[in-house]
Amino acid sequence: MWSLFALLLGLVVGSFLNVVIHRIPRKESIAFPPSRCPQCGHPLGPLDLVPILSYLLLKGRCRYCRSPISPRYPLVEALTGGLFLLASRFYPPGVEAFLVFAFLAFLVALSFLDLDTFELPDSLTYGLLFLGLLSAYLLSFPRPFAEALDGALIAAGVLGLVAGYGGLFLRRFREARAEVPVGPHQVHMAALFGALLGPGVGMALAFLTWALSARTGRPVVLPDRITLPLLPLAWILAPYLGADLLSTLRGSFLAAGGLALAGGLYWAFKPIHEVNEEGEETDPVAMGYGDVKLLGALGAWLGLYSLLALFLGVFAGALVGLAFRQRKIPFGPYLALGGIVAFFYGEALWRAYLAWLGL
Ligand SMILES: [Zn+2]
């Protein structure tokens, strides 16, 4: 009974996610107006909205204008139903199961939004992050709060630094434009200070430069060409300076993640409108940390298993990229897939890996 309920709930939630995926990029309200055919605009009745069945009975066409309906709609419904069914095998009826359903629904919506638009909306990445932290705080589920917070910061910090090094290499070591008051430069500085002085002081110093940037209106930052090369040097030298490598790494990732998530939140509430040469307003580009925020959100649910999610995501993304020879692939769906696998099977995979190593 519980499994059947989970499956049916997943189908209905999937139908709602289709609306979310369609409307968020168009900045339309999710609740109103009721669903319409995207081709002819005819309002859809209850009979048109039965998950999967309506699609099959109408043979994939709109009842009113006969234009084809994308098979994406029943696919999203079936996928969500299948994931809820999977969750019902792990969690008995209760609050925890419904939290896992929410976790899965966020990831389905984020994946398809990223496929459509190459963007991960802040409302959903931060929504997932704060739901994970809140659940950890109130229920110690799925992890105790300290583990969830560490997981979120470390995961965001790791991917933020990967993005930093990637950017530096792609620009052939030219300095990136620093964002005022906060941008990736502060993330990289926080990592360096955090490695040398611990995460608290690292974050405090980076927040200080953020405040100075805001006050003066110009970037108060160390160049990436200094911070990013010095950071691995600090890791290598740490053991010789009496610090242990693990706490040095932890310090830099925690501090970097703190700045990445706080900076991203700042820009989420303060969208900038850049004007291009033709005088048109373009979308805000500040931070551009969609994947970093998503992995941070996964960290709140998975703790350090979010790093396994990152590994699985990179692996799956590389396989698909090679198979289809795509240049530009959105990374969000692979991170989400890695996150779901790591959430349900992370500990089993980790134990299997240790056993394979003979530990
Ligand atoms: Zn129609």
| Residue 30 predicted with pLDDT over 60 | yes
For 108-128, write each residue's pLDDT tens digit: 999 999 999 999 999 999 999
Using a CB cutoff of 5 Å, list residues around ligand 1, an ion: 37, 39-40, 62, 64-65
For 149-173, write each residue's pLDDT tens digit: 999 999 999 999 999 999 999 888 8
Measure 105 CA to ligand 1 centroid, in angstroms: 27
Do 55 and 66 reside in the same domain of the chain? Answer: yes
Q: Which of 85, 174, 133, 139 is nearest to 257 (CA)?
A: 133
Measure 65 CA to ligand 1 centroid, in angstroms: 4
Measure 51 CA to ligand 1 centroid, in angstroms: 17
Do 191 and 109 reside in the same domain of the chain? Answer: no
- What pLDDT, on a 0 to 100 scale, did the predictor assign at position 282? 53
In a domain, 165, yes or no: yes
Query: Tokens 């052939």, residue?
Result: 172
Domain count, the chain: 3
For 282-338, write each residue's pLDDT tens digit: 554 567 799 999 999 999 999 999 999 999 999 999 898 888 877 778 999 999 999
DSSP at 275: E
Cβ atoms of residues 101 and 87 within 8 Å:
yes
Do 96 and 197 reside in the same domain of the chain? Answer: no
Q: Indicate the average pLDDT of the chain.
A: 92
Do 163 and 244 reside in the same domain of the chain? Answer: yes
Do 152 and 297 reside in the same domain of the chain? Answer: yes
Compute the average pLDDT of residues 34-55: 89
- What pLDDT, on a 0 to 100 scale, did the predictor assign at position 277? 66
Domain that holds residue 255: 145-303
Measure 68 CA to ligand 1 centroid, in angstroms: 8
Do 296 and 325 reside in the same domain of the chain? Answer: no
DSSP at 274: E
Do 102 and 167 reside in the same domain of the chain? Answer: no
In a domain, 104, yes or no: yes
Residues whose CB falls within 8 Å of the CB of residue 12, separated by 6 or more in sequence, listed in order: 51
Measure 26 CA to ligand 1 centroid, in angstroms: 19
Do 52 and 37 reside in the same domain of the chain? Answer: yes
36 forms beta bridges with: 43
Measure 77 CA to ligand 1 centroid, in angstroms: 20
Report CA-CA distances (Å) from 72 to 19, 21, 67.
Answer: 12, 11, 15
Measure 27 CA to ligand 1 centroid, in angstroms: 21
321 forms beta bridges with: none
Higher pLDDT, 139 or 358: 139
Do 272 and 330 reside in the same domain of the chain? Answer: no
For 86-95, write each residue's pLDDT tens digit: 999 999 999 9
Cα(221)–Cα(130) distance, integer angstroms? 29
Measure 276 CA to ligand 1 centroid, in angstroms: 37
Compute the average pLDDT of residues 239-247: 89
Measure 78 CA to ligand 1 centroid, in angstroms: 22
- What pLDDT, on a 0 to 100 scale, did the predictor assign at position 326? 72
The CA-based diameter of the chain, rounded to the nearest angstrom, is: 74
Measure 106 CA to ligand 1 centroid, in angstroms: 28
In a domain, 139, yes or no: no
In a domain, 140, yes or no: no
